[in-house]
Structure 1
Amino acid sequence: MCRRIAACGLATVLTACAIAEPLPTLPVEAQLLAQQWQAMRARPGHFAGGEWDDQVDKWQGAKHQLMQQLFDLAWGDRYDVAQLRALLGAPDRVWTPAADEYANWLRMTEWHGQPAGELWAYAWRGQHDQLLFAVESGQVRAAGWLLMYE
């Protein structure tokens, strides 16, 4: 694919080649969790403008427990960025170090590891409570929960 678009310019070629890279194949257990995550992620819940759903919104509800398993897997097995994306998909939000909220999210998150680089957020309860991964140079540097504790 990359050779067919070579006439489009270097930036386009590099972007297209990066997009065309296949995601790594995950172990079967991880694939099953990823499928469960995609199904659960599609349910809006109260904090994302939907109706209250115990499975999605409740502390230790099904979504919360699934996200804890995903966190344990990705951090425990030291997934790289490609593996993380294969497991969780694209993040719901990304903050760069230049973002206004970046320093607050660093301070408010219960980190495992030393955060550096971009912060990738995966929403549990909308933008209210989120699972964050700090990624830099293709590696996951840290992971943790950004919880509002109200």
Structure 2
Amino acid sequence: MKPILDACCGSRMFWFDKQNPAAVYVDNRVVPHHEYYKNRYVEVAPDIVADFTDLPFGDKTFKLVVFDPPHLKWAGPTSWMALKYGRLEDNWPDMIRDGFNECMRVLDDYGTLIFKWSEVEIPLRKVLKAIDASPLFGHRSGKHNNTHWMAFMKFPIEAEGKPHEA
């Protein structure tokens, strides 16, 4: 199995190598390459079609998991934004929590989870409350500093809360 999982790859926008041979790309949809608006193209072509809340992998399969879930509630089901980024339903806290937990389940001990969240609608504090976890560190980016990149590490139960004693 490849060591990296992108659990909701979308159009792989932040990947430098969109065909990275070390990564498995998963999304719950396929969007054939097409022009949505003039000069605006989108394509979602996952290796595996699956829901990030129910991944088809065994426990501790990956060394690195990238989790960039949809972050928009207001995007219409057939809008450019929904096509490009996906969309959230009213049960978004459960969906994000279940997705985060599923990403941690498939992450190997001492593996790293990179979680990207754009708080254009939902503040990061509400997302962190929903997942009930705190990142090790993170970084804000974007035009308005509303995109958060956060790193989490999966510690074995016996080392929980003791990262320096690994």
Output the TM-score relative to the length of structure 1: 0.30
